[in-house]
Structure 1
């Protein structure tokens, strides 16, 4: 595995006065980007690419770029968002349609707030769910979920 596409709520979190996501909202993504890059993975991430809201691309630019990067990535990791992030949900659909291994990060104790299609995606796609309270503390579980789902996709004959 060489690359990961990291998705999550973005435009709805950008403060229109500062044209930036608040630092507290950036932190989970920064933590995961740093973690994945320390493990030698290339990370595709719109938040960083668009300077956390300061350099937002036009819809006609970011849409095909995100789709292309999801197609290139070896694994797709997403924070679906509460409330749901429409863009992230589209990206989850693309990853599923492309047959990508998917890891969805759900806030522990709030699982019922995620849409039925997010919670049921594992019935039609290769998905691992990680329930977290702190992204930084969840990285070992995220790594294990990535290994499990990538192995399931790459070795379907050995999967029960």
Structure 2
């Protein structure tokens, strides 16, 4: 990321579908389902950002936490994060939508990564009316990383009051 708009966040919470992506036979996320999360984690960490992510924390499903543990931990990590980034899921991921609600309620700047051609819930579509949101619509997530960086810069610049006039 360049620093002309905003420095990268120090911490972010990366959310997305989890339980619905687990292979019923292995109890783990298959490599294809892990790929977008792994890509984003590596991308942000290469910039020095501390990434909080339940998928990785729970070993991609191999070490699932109990609901009473992961719920409180996810909420606290979202509360402490400077930025919230989410792949909302299509079909909608119930857990991710709860996390989006927490991020919005905590006043976190949000970047939504929306796959082109997918349907998203009305509350995701209208989230920008109640929260500081940037959307990145993508076909190929890896090719869209520069757009993700620009979205992060814009949402953080607005939050920090350093955005340039349009």
Query: 1:117 aligned to 117, 123, 128, which one?
Result: 123
Q: CA RMSD in A?
A: 1.5
**Partner of residue 137, structure 2:** 131
8 Å Cα contact 1:152-1:159 kept in structure 2: no
Which ranges of 4 or more aligned residues in structure 1 deviate by more than 4 Å? 156-160
The TM-score normalised by the length of structure 2 is 0.91
How many residues are matched?
Answer: 158
Q: Secondary structure at the match of 2:12?
A: strand
| Equivalent runs, 1:64-83 vs 2, <5 Å | 64-83=72-91
Instruction: Check whether the contact 1:4–1:42 (CA below 8 A) recurs between aligned residues.
Output: yes
Any idea what SS the aligned residue of 1:122 has? Answer: helix
1:86 equivalenced with 2:89 (yes/no): no
Relative to total residues, which structure has the larger helix share, 1 or 2? 1
User: Which runs of 5 or more residues in structure 2 are unaligned?
Assistant: 1-8
**Is there any run of 5+ residues in structure 1 with no aligned partner, and where?**
none
Equivalent residue number for residue 28 of structure 2 = 20
Cα distance in 2 for residues equivalent to 1:137 and 1:43:
20
Q: 1:25 to 1:152 in 2, by over 3 A?
A: same
Point out the more displaced range, 65-74 or 149-158.
149-158
